[in-house]
Structure 1
Amino acid sequence: MSNIKLQARLRNRVGKKGRAFLDFKNIPAVIYGPKSKNRNLEIGRAEFNRALEISGQSSLVDVYIGEENPVKAIINDVARDPLSGNVIHADFYELDMNKKLKIDVELNFIGESPAVKEKGAELIKNLDRIEVECLPKDLVPEIDVDISSLQEIGDHIFTKDIILPTGLEFVTHHGLAVASVEEIKEEIIMEPQAAVAGQTSEDKKKDEDGDGVEQNKVKTDEDKNKGKE
């Protein structure tokens, strides 16, 4: 897959004033790396959203800043508005193309499990991403996990079972469960206890309140004398 291309412009205003200056069509961003200084940018919102949807946060992006040669980077962090969900800021990390990096890559579950389709089992996804190590040129937006191997209830797929794309190596432990199929357990609903035969709602209320129930009472000498009067 060819690299995603993004056009950016240098942003002079920073902080709250800078964010207020940008209209809804643009988002503020920053690009940084081990061999470059931080630079504040602004990027078209629609263009960035398309790039994020295609590349995720684990694919190489060519960031064009003005008339400069493209910077090889990844989308390292995305901040969103908690109410609208719109992107309000993005971080780009400039990469050294000759140096390996460790990065989390999303898992894409493909295929169909016979245990789910034919035996009514439930698919449990234990992981949604794994950590790998690779050169920037080998980065991928996602890694496929084929669940068609889940034939019987109780079957598992472990990280060691995943076929990694060329150039990628596991950082996540090989023995972690990625997905499994389990029997769907029926929820037991407790029936309310039946009322005692012949007992009215008024009788039941008296029982709950303590009225209508005989109680033993130890009489004092004063009580005895009152009874003689």
Structure 2
Amino acid sequence: MKSITIDGSQRESVGKKATKALRNAGQVPCVLYGGDKPVHFSANELAFSKLVYTPNAHTVVIALDNGETLNAVLQDIQFHPVTDRILHVDFYQLFEDKEIALNIPVNLVGNSRGVKNGGVLRRNNRKLRIKALPANLPDFIEIDITPLKVGDKVAVGDLPREDYTFLHTDNTVVCQIKTARTAIVDEEDEEEGVEGAEGATEAGDVPATETDDVAAVKE
């Protein structure tokens, strides 16, 4: 998984006045959890643009002014209700031998047969939560939707299991092709339906015209 470096300065005071002064200076108060004790620091608001305003998932390298570097992931972020400025950020520290739960974006590739025939692609889950060691965290989960026809869907249980665990039930739908008014029947499906009907006729009931002829001979 790609990583973003954020330069931070350790905070001496965590009171309201100190926090307000930081924000007025264009700094964002942050806290790193998960270690022996919380680490309070601040970072320039512009440093979060590539981390927050993107659909991609990233790990973070927090480079403190004392020379210490800490690996982490974004855990929570608070925005101002009116200006949307970042007010506070929480991070969770990563350790090489400890699994972490993280939301990973789903990347759909290919052109679905069902969509070409007029169906509608529904993305039920744009992100999936997984659990893995930091080294095994993927940038995204890729799904090829090319073979999907109208009515088909992809669930978590259909996805390959790699070096991580999905924190969803197997029947959780990730994406599906829904029927639309303009949708047309796939030619291959239509041919299968015709073949199935012909097979039923050969092995099943005698056509009505033949039945009438047999009854006439008996009379």
After TM superposition, the score normalised by the length of structure 2 is 0.73
Q: Answer yes or no: is 1:177 the counterpart of 2:178.
A: no
SS in structure 2 of the partner of residue 30 of structure 1: strand
- What displacement does 1:88 show? 1.4
The change in CA–CA distance for 1:133 and 1:9 in structure 2 (over 3 A counts) is same
Q: Could you say which residue in structure 2 is the equivalent of 1:114?
A: 113
1:83 is aligned with what amino acid? V
The change in CA–CA distance for 1:121 and 1:2 in structure 2 (over 3 A counts) is closer
Give the alignment's Cα RMSD to 1 decimal: 2.3
Q: Could you say which residue in structure 1 is the equivalent of 2:50?
A: 50
- What displacement does 1:185 show? 4.4
Is contact 2:2–2:58 with CA below 8 Å preserved after alignment?
Answer: no
Q: Could you say which residue in structure 2 is the equivalent of 1:196?
A: none
SS in structure 1 of the partner of residue 63 of structure 2: strand
1:180 is aligned with what amino acid? Q
Q: Could you say which residue in structure 2 is the equivalent of 1:131?
A: 129
Instruction: Give structure 2 stretches of 5+ with no counterpart.
Output: 183-219
Is contact 2:51–2:58 with CA below 8 Å preserved after alignment?
Answer: no
Instruction: Give structure 1 stretches of 5+ with no counterpart.
Output: 187-229
Is contact 2:106–2:142 with CA below 8 Å preserved after alignment?
Answer: yes
Q: Which protein shows a greater Rg?
A: 1
The change in CA–CA distance for 1:51 and 1:131 in structure 2 (over 3 A counts) is closer
Q: Answer yes or no: is 1:142 the counterpart of 2:160.
A: no
Q: Could you say which residue in structure 2 is the equivalent of 1:168?
A: 164
SS in structure 2 of the partner of residue 149 of structure 1: coil
Is contact 1:55–1:141 with CA below 8 Å preserved after alignment?
Answer: no
Q: Answer yes or no: is 1:156 the counterpart of 2:157.
A: no
Task: Tell me, in whole angstroms, the C-alpha distance in 2 between the residues paired with 1:145 and 1:24.
Answer: 44
SS in structure 1 of the partner of residue 105 of structure 2: strand
